[in-house]
Amino acid sequence: MTDAAKLVELVRGDLVESVHRGHVVICDTSGDILAAWGDPKAVIYPRSSCKMLQALPLVESGAAAQAGLGVNHLAFACASHKAAAIHTDLATSWLESLGLSADDLRCGPQIPQDIAARGLLREEFGQPCQIHNNCSGKHCGFVTLNQTLKGGSEYTEVDHPVQKAVREAFEEMTGATSPAWGIDGCSAPNFACEIGNLARAMAKMAHPTGLGATRKAAIESLIPAMMAYPELVDGFGTATTEFMQAANGKAAIKTGAEGVYVAILPERGIGIALKIEDGAGRASEAAMAAILVRLGVVDAADPRIDARLNRKQLNRRGINAAHFQVTDDLYRGGSSL
């Protein structure tokens, strides 16, 4: 097994103070590895980075069409949102259109991550509910699928028809039986895979030729939806949203908990997957920014990219006390891959 590679460093003064190690794999549509750092066979939980795979049965089953879902709904089904009004309003109206409410979700309540929404909830002496959960969009997709599959109310159980459909799609796209599963933060099962196979799945999402007409059509609905509504997929001013905005239609990008990131490049037929071993989001954002630059998807000088590629660490007085840098082995000055 190959050890994790040094990917991102925190430099203070003249010393490297902290090091983030991890794995990065870039695949093409044939499944060949174009570039890799660390171990392509490292088994990881994709966490929320794989929500576009989890959304495939929603579209393929006909449930999305039957429910009259729009492009914005499909983007939201792939979201890890911040519970801003654009997110909670959409979740509420989606559930109402199904004759359901927040009580029918099984993701659990969460304090809004959006500052304005959190402040408003506090001012109104309100309590966070399941609509505020950052995975409520995915769960709206699950309950929509469940109405078509006619399963029981506990749709997060691993042997429920919804999760069986999700696992089947996940394993078909990664090309391997999942070796393990765990309970995600939103209570749904999260199926493990090799990081190289996650990158291969993203490459298939980038160029779905040969996957069958139904799957191809589902992918060609979900990926453009993510790129059309990046603020629904994450939130205003977040790395995922700004990466997609900077890519300007060249990439669908998704983060996951514990330092996971994926990217789908339709024009190139390329899939990317990365995992930071210590789970640090600051490092996964920097690493993804570096890869996107090297693949020519974004400009290193774009402020939205530079902010993550060369993140400064300010102290309490606003003095730049340290900075993050992507290792030369990964970035190499932004040279083309």
What does the pLDDT average to over 151-175? Answer: 98
**Would the pLDDT of 9 be above 80?**
yes
pLDDT value, residue 38: 98
- Give me the CATH number covering residue 273: 3.40.710
Whole-number average pLDDT of the chain: 97
Cα distance between residue 50 and residue 318, in whole Å = 37
pLDDT range class, residue 2, cuts 50, 70, 90: confident
> Per-residue pLDDT tens for 311-330?
999 999 999 999 999 999 99
pLDDT range class, residue 21, cuts 50, 70, 90: very high
pLDDT value, residue 132: 98
CB 83 within 8 A of CB 132: yes
**Would the pLDDT of 1 be above 80?**
no
pLDDT range class, residue 156, cuts 50, 70, 90: very high
pLDDT value, residue 64: 98
**Would the pLDDT of 133 be above 70?**
yes
Provide the domain count of the chain. Answer: 1
Cα distance between residue 277 and residue 38, in whole Å = 10
- What is the domain range of residue 221? 5-334
> Per-residue pLDDT tens for 235-283?
999 999 999 999 999 999 999 999 999 999 999 999 999 999 999 999 9
Q: What percent of the chain has pLDDT over 90?
A: 98
- Global pTM exceeds 0.85: yes
> Residues 233, 234, 237, 243: what is their CA dihedral angle, to the nearest 10 degrees?
-60
pLDDT value, residue 86: 98
Structure tokens given for 35:
């570039």
Q: Calculate ∠ Cα 167-171-177, nearest 5°.
A: 105
**Would the pLDDT of 57 be above 90?**
yes
DSSP strand E in the chain: where? 5-12, 15-28, 33-37, 43-44, 181-183, 189-191, 193-194, 252-256, 260-265, 270-276, 312-314, 320-326
Give Cα 43 distance to the centre of its chain: 17
> Per-residue pLDDT tens for 169-223?
999 999 999 999 999 999 999 999 999 999 999 999 999 999 999 999 999 999 9
> Per-residue pLDDT tens for 281-290?
999 999 999 9
pLDDT value, residue 191: 98
